[in-house]
Amino acid sequence: MKTNDTTILHALQSVNPSDLARDDWLRIGMGLKAAELPCEVWDQWSQQDPDRYHPGECDRLWRGFNGTGITGATVVHYAKQAGWEASTAGATHTRWTMPPYAPGVDLKPFLSQFEKPAQEPPIAEATGDTEQLRRYLAAMFEPLESVIIVTRATWDKEKEKWKPQPPGRTHTVTDLLQGLMRPGATIESVIGKHVRDAGAWVRVNPCTGEGDRDVTRFRHALLESDEQDTEEQLKLIRKLNAPYSALVESGGKSIHGLVRVDAADKAEYDERVEYLYQAAEAIGLKVDRQNRNPSRMSRLAGVLRGDKQQRLVCTMAGDEDWEAWMEQREGPKVTFTPTKIHGSGPMPPPLFINGPLPGGFGLIVGEDTIGKGWVSLDLMLSCALGKKINISTIHHSGPPLRVAYCCYEDPGPALEWRLDQICKLAGIDPREWWEAEEDGRLVIKADDELMPMFEQLPGRLPEPTAYLEALWQFVGKSHTDLLIIDPLAACAVLQNENDNAAMNQVAVQLRARAKQECCTTLLTHHTNKIGHGSQHHHAARGGAALPAAARWQLQLAQESEKAPLFMAVSKNSYGRRHFDIPMIREDAGPVRELTQADLAARASALMYRVKNWIEEHPEVHVNLNAIANRAGTARELITEMGASPAAVHDAATMAVENGYLKVQETITEKGRKVYILTTVNSGNNTYDDDEEIPFR
């Protein structure tokens, strides 16, 4: 320490942090660091402004103070503005008491005494009396608080016992701890002489006087019993598991438990003490209820009482704090029971082919207008009618299921037209779905009658609405097998769909209720911009929590308007995944899965288109292998065909195999051999194209 550090510390006592603007408070911190004082000094002083003090903030800011030009003189400047004079540096000007630091003293040992671990082990029997007192004070009080210790006693002839004789002596915790740290210190040299046969007492809460009105913090309640042996008392006190700052043997026939009730005022203190005493009595501890007042005295740890010590048993025991203890006592009584796996039954089949399990939660994802609504309706009809409609990879064959469809985007007439179009494409009489609706197997709720299922206020997580609860009640009573909600963005009114926590709240609640009602629940959702054309299950728009919560996901993907449409079962937690399922959207709107005959016809048509394009563009030299790599002039052909590079490459290869095109060796102007696609009747030529890939 520098020689003027004591002056700076005394000056700091005159400055009230509550009177400072934040910039001035920061300058104080910078000045203390410049004076090479530890951050703990700034932190302890800042705690005198509890409304603005935030634990850890001083330490975080301290690390960023690097040579700002402010010195320790800044602290003195603010002190003088508060009326401090250097000539009175040794006096105390305000109610804040800083430790009496001296030049050259290492502050770390002093400050480390107030680091309170969540649990401390029992104090060893051989631990010295001063060490016990030090630990007790550090656990019970904060550095700047006042502690009243009573060392005088009178003999009560009637009760034949020593009684404390108030008022006692007021100390600050910092004075006591520094006294205990001095070489050769004894308890009596710190607290004064006491009657050896009587022991010594301490008021359990910070006080400025003798009565309850003088208590400054309603932190502790004294828990004591004189009617049971100490071993039984300790057993019951530990069983109670209250938040104990300290447990102390009285040196007589009781254990003193100092319980952290942390009450805001006397009224709350009385309520919490009564609750504590009732809880202790409920497990068999015979509580001395005379100890209920906040200014009560307890035995001071480490002091001798006759030939026995008022021994510190442990500090910081039991639950973490009062709130944690109350939660543990009053919270839901949840028990953990293992699940018996062996013999639990066979794995249930999926609700439909390549679908999720009954009661599962899944997604149907795709870009706007790509056809996910049509696919949802096709799947809905398949489940309600018990047969394949227009899609083979996902359909239900078997007894009809009970299905509910909530559509936020189309009114009733539009949905009726769509369902009729799907049936027409599949060659099914639409009266079949009419009948399914009549007998309740198929339930549809259109957009003009739907309300939000989740709503989110600013700064809050989404909450399920009464409408969602009504829906779940209907699902339970009607034994619905499949619920489709189209789309998520309309049913959940979120502040920001990219908020992972909000999306997780929606997904987890829907998944849990789907399992509870054993009703497979599917949401339709949009693809994000990055996921354009992707069949990956993380292509869904918004927070990643949604696809993570789903156990099944169906994806519709199309790279461009002219490109082929594909479907994928991109996530299936209990079955196979399927990709590149070729689909086509008919002119009337319905989406169907292509058959092998469709694929053969499509491949043949593409082959003829490639052949014709090569014939019509003899000046464009296309390398066959460059098509697969989308390189060179092949890009022009691929773009014109509106198909994937692999499909165009297959079509060109088919044209060669069928004799419509041939691969011809050609020499470039640079003398390099390349192999280009030409018509069967074309001749040799040369060209210059550095981008072409030689045919191998």
CATH top-level class of 129-330 = alpha beta
Please report, for the chain, the start and end positions of each structural domain, with discontinuous segments joined by +: 5-100, 129-330, 361-594, 597-679
Let me know: does 380 contact 522? Beta carbons within 8 Å: no
CATH code for residues 361-594: 3.40.50.300
Burial pattern 619-652, b for ≥16 Cβ within 10 A else e, equals ebbbbbbbbbebebbbbebbeebbbbbebbbbbb
Q: Is the pLDDT of residue 111 over 60?
A: no
Taking each continuous run of H as one helix and of E as one strand, the counts in the chain are 23, 26
Residues 276, 322: Cα–Cα separation, whole Å = 10
pLDDT band at 485 (very low <50, low <70, confident <90, very high): very high
Q: Is the pLDDT of residue 108 over 70?
A: no
What length is written for the chain?
696
- As a whole number, mean pLDDT of residues 123-141 equals 81
Residues 403, 558: Cα–Cα separation, whole Å = 29
* pLDDT number for residue 143: 77
HSE value, Cβ hemisphere, 13 Å, CA-based, for 44:
24
* pLDDT number for residue 254: 93
Segment among 270-279, 449-458, 521-530 with least mean pLDDT: 521-530
| Mean pLDDT taken over the chain | 85
Let me know: does 517 contact 548? Beta carbons within 8 Å: no
* pLDDT number for residue 105: 39
The two three-digit tokens of residue 353, written as one number? 């082919």
* pLDDT number for residue 236: 94
- As a whole number, mean pLDDT of residues 296-314 equals 92
* pLDDT number for residue 357: 94
Q: Is the pLDDT of residue 532 over 70?
A: no
Which pLDDT tens digit goes with each residue over 2-21?
A: 435 667 888 888 899 988 88
Q: Is the pLDDT of residue 529 over 80?
A: no
Segment among 34-43, 207-216, 529-538, 654-663 with least mean pLDDT: 529-538
Residues 373, 383: Cα–Cα separation, whole Å = 15
Q: Which residue has the higher pLDDT, 395 or 113?
A: 395
- As a whole number, mean pLDDT of residues 339-347 equals 83
* pLDDT number for residue 90: 38
- As a whole number, mean pLDDT of residues 340-366 equals 91
- As a whole number, mean pLDDT of residues 255-262 equals 95
Architecture of domain 597-679 in this structure: Orthogonal Bundle (1.10)
Residues 593, 108: Cα–Cα separation, whole Å = 75
Segment among 61-65, 150-154, 429-433 with least mean pLDDT: 61-65
pLDDT band at 290 (very low <50, low <70, confident <90, very high): very high
- As a whole number, mean pLDDT of residues 102-115 equals 45
Q: Which residue has the higher pLDDT, 84 or 291?
A: 291
Q: Is the pLDDT of residue 540 over 70?
A: no
pLDDT band at 535 (very low <50, low <70, confident <90, very high): low
pLDDT band at 497 (very low <50, low <70, confident <90, very high): confident
The two three-digit tokens of residue 459, written as one number? 């700064």
Q: Is the pLDDT of residue 107 over 80?
A: no
Let me know: does 237 contact 223? Beta carbons within 8 Å: yes
* pLDDT number for residue 682: 55
Residues 48, 26: Cα–Cα separation, whole Å = 15
pLDDT band at 594 (very low <50, low <70, confident <90, very high): very high
SS3 category, 665: strand
> Sign of the CA dihedral 133, 139, 143, 144?
negative
* Distance from the Cα of residue 459 to its chain's centroid: 15
DSSP line for 75-109: HHHHHHHTT--GGGTTS--SS-------TT--SHH
Residues 161, 250: Cα–Cα separation, whole Å = 13
Q: Is the pLDDT of residue 674 over 80?
A: no
pLDDT band at 684 (very low <50, low <70, confident <90, very high): very low
Using alpha carbons, list the distances in angstroms from residue 77 to 84, 86, 98, 355, 547.
Answer: 9, 11, 18, 75, 60
* pLDDT number for residue 125: 55
